[in-house]
Amino acid sequence: MLRFCVHYGLHFVFPLLIALYFYRKKWKMVYLIFLAAMLIDLDHLLARPIFDPNRCSINFHPLHSYYAIAVYAGMLFFTKTRILGLGLLIHILADIADCWMM
């Protein structure tokens, strides 16, 4: 239960807090972008089985690979991609926390 709360808290609550604190004037749009970053989980559809509760997604799925994470970190350096990059890295952080709790 703790793993579930931490994982989904990092997916939904933590991005909301970041949006509210750092992007107060446009927090709704930023939060929507953060939520849209969860679309990288579509790469789970390439795996068999699609869902395995004992599988760490980091460096297993293509959009969760170390190369992809480096691209997401690189997005922080550009104004136009910074919010999306941050949302993707928050998503990766949630998945890393899930891996550590296994």
Residue 69's domain spans which residues?
A: 2-100
| pLDDT score of 47 | 92
Q: Of all residues in the chain, what percent carry a pLDDT higher than 90?
A: 83
Sequence-distant (6+) residues with CB within 8 A of 40 are 63, 64, 68, 88, 91
Instruction: Please indicate, yes or no, whether the overall pTM of this predicted structure exceeds 0.75.
Output: yes
Interval 56-66: pLDDT, tens: 999 999 999 99
Number of domains comprising the chain: 1
34-82 pLDDT tens trace = 999 999 999 999 999 988 888 999 999 999 999 999 999 999 999 999 9
